[in-house]
Amino acid sequence: MTVLIEGRRLSRVFMVRSGWFGPRRPLRAVDDVSIAIEEGETVALVGESGSGKSTLGRMLLGLLSPTSGEILYGGHPLSALAGEAWKRFRREVQVVFQDTGASLNPRKTVGSSLEVPLRYNLGLDGAAARSRAAQLLDQVGLEPAVFLQRYPHELSGGQRQRVGVARAIASRPRLVIADEPVSALDVSVRAQVLKLLHEIQESTELAELFITHDLGVVRAVASRVLVMYLGALVEQGPVETLFAAPGHPYTRALLAATPVPDPTRRHGRRPLGGDIPSPLAPPPGCRFHPRCPFAQEVCRTTPPPLVELAGGLASACHFAEDVQKLGPPKTALAE
């Protein structure tokens, strides 16, 4: 397979104040992370709030510039794209946001919101744009005759998210970055949207980066997973291997904390203890060691490198091989 987009050793530092009059301090939202997405591949990017996954997604979208590192799209540096090449990138890389209510113009109908990218990105005239907008609504399971003239406030959360998906695929992109697209939806609607994204990906050979904090939805959408913690990449590899035998204690904790939709198995859920440290002052050594049940002295002093494990996993843990031998965490999710 051909690599579509690649980030090499990406870092993003924000200068923030501590209090109203405090000095400006560096916050490393993303710290030395590399990622590559192949054509037609779906990759999940997982982590708690504050792990840096949305910042990484915005860098790949070209909405944020990396403080250091390089992004390549189609083998060309993103920073060097200009003119028609930049317009092509903006057309071929689209996004589905979590808050569709904020991303849709409340003063425009659904039809108008869909026609804008068709007119500007594909150069369609009025009649052709309206016809294509109707086809897009039909593709995402919404009746065009009913929804083309509706406004965002007249739609349910699931319907707005379907419109968001339709707008993202309107310009026939090669890559869609979905940032927490189902976290605000109830369970039944979430399953419908996930199924829709999977069907579109399969029928169009679209590449997807699916950003989420919930490992429970990853199996339904992705073939490969990257796990981030406090701005750093701590584990990556194939979905099935990661679920069966994770090599990083943080991944094990995320799996154990995954909600299980079965009241008879609620005892299996084990929430991750402790709070994520401040990115303004990350712990020395392994960043996860204050919350890690396997931590030893080396974890407190020496940052662990990514090491290759069985099954195609790579984990940043000093004891990754021992952790992987434990298999899946003993929760209802693993039963």
Question: How does pLDDT run across 22-38, given as a tens digit for each residue?
Answer: 788 999 999 999 999 99
What pLDDT score does 259 carry?
63
What percentage of the chain has pLDDT greater than the value 90?
A: 62
Task: Provide the residue type at 151 as one letter.
Answer: Y
Query: What number of residues does the chain have?
Result: 335
Tokens representing residue 307 in the block: 């090491």
pTM: 0.89
Q: What is the mean pLDDT of the chain?
A: 88
Reported confidence tier of residue 295, pLDDT bands at 50, 70, 90:
very high
What pLDDT score does 270 carry?
55
What pLDDT score does 1 carry?
72
Average pLDDT over residues 64-77: 96
Task: Provide the residue type at 72 as one letter.
Answer: L
